[in-house]
Amino acid sequence: MSVKIAFIVNPVAGMGGSVGLKGTDGEGTVEEALARGATPVSPDRAIEALRSLLKKALELEFITCSGEMGEAELKAAGIEGKVVFRPGHKTDAQDTKLAIEEFLRHRPDLLVFAGGDGTARDVLEAVGSAVPMVGIPAGVKMHSAVFAMTPESLGDLVESFATTGLTRDSEVMDVDEDSFRRGVLEARLHGYARVPDDVVNLQSSKAVYHSGSADEEAAEIGQYIAETMAPGTAYILGPGSTTSAITKHLGLEKTLLGVDVVLDGSLVLRDATESQLLELLGRSTKAIVVVTPIGSQGFIFGRGNQQISARVLRIVGPANVCVVATPTKLRDTPVLRVDSGDSGLDASFKGSIKVVIGYKRRKLMMVA
């Protein structure tokens, strides 16, 4: 089966992650990200995904937008595409919607976009159920169940779709980024998109836990990690309620949805950026990264914690990564995943890892 793909890139998606902005939605956010030293993320992620398609014996045809909204990434991957839409000088969500309106006139079989939840929302509003869609994960949050597991998964996903043609409905979630930056997670269901029916290569939506037992489990984990912290060691704590339980036991206030650093019982970095973490590590400070997986999806890196970048992880080393998770969360999380943007680093995490699930209690989990 030949597949006609409509391909679009949100060139600013993901830029807020490494600099602690937690997204690029909202007026002035892209400019603020650039001022903080952010660099484009989605073009490279898109190129990596496109190259995975070249490894498959597939008959593909591409229509796209000019410049960095698709044409440039296709050329960089060595793929020819027909430009059917040319955006203005400064692209925005309206350009995405106008481009998709033009795509639909060319009757594509599949719409592939690179971006995050905000881009998924814009795409869904424009395409509805007319064409199945799939996202290349290139944003900060990516709670929606429309994204490939990793950019490299796109090849397998499109191959499966070309073989079966099967689709299903999946959730598109959206988060209020202003609230998100203030440490309040307000995710809502925006709608349902048609996606390829591939549970192996397409991520699920994020699971959220609110039970009292889960809170008690997190408190037990927090007590254990806090009481076993080594002197002179910087603990880089990723986002989440489980890691927040650690600082709560220490009598400190954590940035719930940001990355903080604790050293010798004190909060030395709050809502840290990638550059701040690199500066800390550059002072030869011994460090341990403590993260918790996203419920159901299983990602420990590459979703909502891009401040703990591949550069940071290479300095710290996989051996100094501590994964914590409540038993309640792990019941719905069969495997763990890493999508740091560095395939060599991601491969170093594959295999088994001991996850702290309570006071002196660990569970062996697989990293896919």
Is it the case that residue 230 has pLDDT exceeding 90? yes
| CATH classification at residue 20 | 3.40.50
By the 8 A CB rule, do 116 and 16 touch?
Answer: no
Kindly state whether residue 205 falls inside one of the protein's structural domains: no
Domain presence at residue 98: yes
Helix axes 212-227, 241-250, angle to 10 degrees: 50
Does the pLDDT of residue 37 top 70, yes or no? Answer: no
- Asked whether residue 156 is assigned to any structural domain, the reply reads yes
- Please state which of the ranges 17-31, 48-62, 76-90, 296-310 shows the lowest mean pLDDT: 17-31
Q: Could you tell me if residue 203 is inside a domain?
A: no
* Mean pLDDT along residues 237-266: 94
Any domain includes 201: no
248 shares its domain with 349 = yes
Query: Is it the case that residue 128 has pLDDT exceeding 90?
Result: yes
Confidence of residue 13 (pLDDT cuts 50, 70, 90): confident
CA dist 24 and 289 (Å) reads 25
Q: Is the pLDDT of residue 26 over 80?
A: no
pLDDT tens string 82-93: 999 998 776 778
Question: Mean pLDDT for the chain?
Answer: 89
Q: What is the pLDDT of residue 30?
A: 55
Domain presence at residue 107: yes
Residue 330 belongs to some domain of the structure: yes
Residues 81 and 181 in one domain: yes
How do residues 72-122 score in pLDDT, each as one tens digit? 999 999 999 999 999 877 677 889 999 999 999 999 999 999 999 989 999
Out of 128, 161, 196, pick the residue that ends a domain.
196
CB 286 within 8 A of CB 203: no
Predicted model pTM = 0.77
My answer on whether 258 and 321 are in the same domain is yes
The verdict on 192 and 217 lying in the same domain is: no
The tally of domains found in the chain comes to: 2
Span 326-368, pLDDT tens digits: 999 999 899 999 999 999 999 999 999 999 999 999 999 999 9
What is the rounded distance in angstroms from the CA atom of residue 79 to the CA atom of residue 51? 9
pLDDT at residue number 4:
98
103-117, 173-187, 235-249, range with the lowest pLDDT: 173-187
Domain that holds residue 290: 212-367
Q: Which of 165, 196, 227 is the last residue of a domain?
A: 196
How many whole angstroms separate alpha carbon 146 and alpha carbon 137? 9
| Range with the poorest average pLDDT among 141-150, 168-177, 187-196, 343-352 | 168-177
Q: Do residue 218 and residue 192 come from a single domain?
A: no
* Same-domain status, 150 and 79: yes
- Which pairing describes strands 167-175 and 187-196: parallel, antiparallel, or unpaired? antiparallel
Same domain, 90 and 164: yes
Q: Check whether residue 181 and residue 97 sit in a common domain.
A: yes
Find out whether 123 and 133 touch, Cβ atoms under 8 Å.
yes
181 lies in the same domain as 36? yes
Beta-sheet pairing, 260-263 with 266-269: antiparallel
